[in-house]
Amino acid sequence: MRTATVVGIILIGIGVMSLAYLTSPVGFLLQGTFNHQKMNLVPPILGGVALISGIALLVAVQVRK
């Protein structure tokens, strides 16, 4: 695998996990049970940007072949 392909897959994974955490009912349940501040490591906007850039990177690698 090329480096660009691996980076694209990692970016897509980070984006999907960030957006899934935001919309999952488990995330809301966990937020209600703990008495500390919300700790979302990647804001939803950055998660969307990571997802889109990962898809664009994979498309660019495929077009170049």
Q: Which domain holds residue 7?
A: 3-64
The per-residue b/e assignment along 25-45, b for 16 or more CB within 10 angstroms, e otherwise, is eeeeeeeeeeeeeeeeebeee
- Euclidean distance between CA atoms 16 and 26, whole angstroms: 15
For the entire predicted model, the pTM comes to: 0.70
pLDDT-based confidence at 41, cuts 50/70/90?
low
User: Count of domains in the chain?
Assistant: 1
The answer to whether the CB of 17 falls within 8 A of the CB of 35 is no
At 5-40, the pLDDT tens digits run 999 999 999 888 888 776 666 555 555 555 555 555
pLDDT-based confidence at 47, cuts 50/70/90?
confident
Tell me what pLDDT residue 16 has: 87
Tell me what pLDDT residue 50 has: 92
